[in-house]
Amino acid sequence: MNGIVVINKPNGITSHDVVDRIRRKFRMKRVGHAGTLDPLATGVLVLLLGKSTKLFDRFVDFDKAYRATMILGTKTISADTEGEIIETKAFSHITEGQIKEVFERFQGDIEQLPPMVSAVKIGGKKLYEMARKGVNIERKPRNVRIDRLDIEEIDFPDVRFYMECSKGTYVRQLADDVGDALGCGACISQIQRTKVGPFNIEEAVTIEDLNEDHIRDWTD
The CA-based angle 112-102-63, given to 5 degrees, is 45
Give, to the nearest 10 degrees, the angle between helix 96-105 and helix 171-182.
Answer: 130
Q: Which of 20, 38, 61, 158 is catalytic?
A: 38
Q: Is 38 a catalytic site residue?
A: yes
**How many Å apart are CA 31 and CA 53, to the nearest integer?**
7
Beta-strand pair 85-88/74-76: antiparallel
- Can you name the residues that pair with 164 across neighbouring β-strands? 65, 148
**How many Å apart are CA 77 and CA 104, to the nearest integer?**
25
Residues carrying an active site annotation: 38
